[in-house]
Amino acid sequence: MQRLGIVGTSIHRAPVDLLSALTLPREQRQETLKALAERCGFEELVYIATCNRVEFVFQQREERPLRSARNRILDHFFSERADVSFQPENFYLLGGDEAARHLFSVAASLDSLVIGEAQILGQVKEAFAESRSVGLVGGELQRLFQSAFHVGKKVRRGTDIGARKVSIVNLARECLAELVASNPDVRVALVGSGEMTGKLAEALKGLGVKDLLFVNRTLAKAEPFADRWKGRAMSLADFLADPPRVDAVCTATAAPKAIFGRDEAERLMDAGAEARPFLFLDLAIPRDVSDEVACLAGVRLCHLGTLREMAQDNRRDRFRAADQAREIIDEEVERYHQHAMESALSPLVGDTQKLAREFAESGLETLLEGRLAHLSDEDKKAVRYWVLTKLVPNVLRLPVQSIARSADQEQVRGGGGAGGGVKVQGLRLAPPKC
């Protein structure tokens, strides 16, 4: 049983409709997370949602099986819904060190749709900040996520995992590049007003596309994009009712259901005078473009599932850097675990450490007032600093580290039993609260 855990799913395990159902609208996210934490008995909770994953990272108020936490989360989302199906294998359940290893891998972009994708670390930081702003982050998740951020930066600096600029936007750019190659005068509509819209506009400008149309439900939200990228702005209602000629639609909205069905797609294709290849690039969860659109002649539909297939080639190119990154993660998981063990063991030797420090301080002052009285005040200050700040704390930490290592070795040999702690030299130690 665990207190620290992760319940998650990703595009590698679950259908898109399940990911969509677990994706919280941003405007309701904070209130929903507070209600979820209360219902599920979570002392701390961080919700991570990216283009290909949804994860709940939590610290339970008391030790419970992780499958119980999973079931409570699913009850919260689906107790009144029967339109989404799922199986136990759609979810991964991770606790303790394995939860830490997974989060470190996510922050290092080893578990991304594209290995080495730079923006994932920023998304994890944003998720952490959002939960902290509503009081859902305490000491345990603070320590876990700060370690994850450290790992992400260390992997980025210490390996070539990010040397080749690859991201969801780059994969999308490949889809768009094929269309541009066949039609240099291509006209593209970008639907949405989020960060992805700006990234796609930048990619299209880099491909030499000059005619960009920015579409949004609220016209005022599309106009800044049009001003920045020298395009045009249009409301979604007008775009659907009387579409201008475009050759591609790139969409990344937060709409709760599909915007473009067969009828909308046919109107868009009929807006031109002649038949032509047409591209729908759908980067939204839930999907903005329904599957029936792909059945239309001349239409190519690319979505996150399509990009996942394209990403497989990129994964192979990054295996060597990924291996280096995993070595870094192994070291950081060991450091994280060691710190957790030491934190759990420190109260057992706290009084002894306090007495030892007082003894060291008393002995040092006697020495400085006696045989070392000839030292200058500056030298005495330096001696006090190195003895009391550097030497004594590290020496006092050694017994805790030694016991922690012995506990680990005993647990590896099977001496700890099922979650009941470990016995070291006649002393039974409870496992760390994680």
Q: What does the pLDDT look like over 6-38, one tens digit per residue? A: 999 998 888 888 888 898 988 889 999 999 999
> Does the bond joining 286 to the residue before it have cis omega, within 30 degrees of 0?
yes
Of 25-29, 40-44, 113-117, 330-334, highest mean pLDDT? 40-44
- Tell me how crowded residue 164 is: count the other CB atoms within 10 A of its CB: 14
Q: What does the pLDDT look like over 69-113, one tens digit per residue? A: 999 999 999 987 878 889 999 999 999 899 999 999 999 888 876
Expressed in angstroms, the distance from the first to the final Cα of the chain is 10
Structure tokens, 146: 């700060």
The third-level CATH classification (topology) of the domain covering 2-165 is Beta Polymerase; domain 2 (3.30.460)
User: For position 389, what pLDDT does the model report?
Assistant: 82
Listed by start position, the domains of the chain span 2-165, 168-308, 336-429
CA dihedral 325, 3, 336, 327 (to 10 degrees): -20
Q: What is the pTM of this model?
A: 0.56
Q: Do the bridges between strand 299-302 and strand 278-282 make them parallel or antiparallel, or are there none, so unpaired?
A: parallel
Report the C-alpha gap between 39 and 59 in whole angstroms: 13
User: For position 340, what pLDDT does the model report?
Assistant: 75
Q: What does the pLDDT look like over 184-229, one tens digit per residue? A: 889 999 999 998 999 999 999 999 999 999 999 999 999 999 999 9
Domain at 168-308: CATH code = 3.40.50.720
Q: Is the pLDDT of residue 345 over 90?
A: no
Q: What does the pLDDT look like over 370-398, one tens digit per residue? A: 888 999 989 988 888 888 888 877 776 66
Closest listed residue to residue 289, CA positions, set 247, 261, 254: 261
pLDDT-wise least confident of 79-88, 287-296, 373-382, 417-426: 417-426
Q: Is the pLDDT of residue 310 over 60?
A: yes
Catalytic, out of 51, 175, 302, 434: 51
Inter-residue contact 216 to 239 (CB < 8 Å): no
Length of the chain: 434
Answer yes or no: 40 catalytic. Answer: no
